[in-house]
Structure 1
Amino acid sequence: MNSNPFISYPHRYWQNIDGSAATHARAGIIETPQGAKEPSVVIFRDKACLTILTVEDATRLSNEIIDQLERPLV
């Protein structure tokens, strides 16, 4: 994984701020090819579904987010 921070363009600042505020998570159900139902987390931007995460990947991603917030940028 790349350890360099991603740097967004200044002209996208308000787009990023608005998108950040409009992004939220909801509990979901993902159906397997065999028809079984498993819990999941659905990430939305406004009403648009961005992705559906398995419980394991939602946990992994939340830990990665926390790790990055605790990491110094310099």
Structure 2
Amino acid sequence: MSQEIWRNKTESISSLDRLARNTLTMDLPEARNCREAREQSRKEMHVLNEKLASQLEKVSILLLLLLLLYNYCFITIN
């Protein structure tokens, strides 16, 4: 194996080791804060998703009403 390939593999392994050590050294309050932030973000996304669904439903109703109005006007004119 060439020296460059060997060096890349060892650098990759050392970066994984560093990541594992950082993860293991994260204390309990940090882990809780991280989880709480993730849960809060999930709740916010759920609320935003519900608002978007509501808006899309309103738009589809308005489009249907517009189509009905157009058809009514077209039929009464002709």
Structure with the greater relative contact order (CA < 8 A, sep ≥ 6): 1 or 2? 1
Common fold: TM-score over 0.5: no
Please tell me whether Structure 1 or Structure 2 has the larger radius of gyration of its CA atoms.
2
Which one has a larger percent strand, Structure 1 or Structure 2? 1
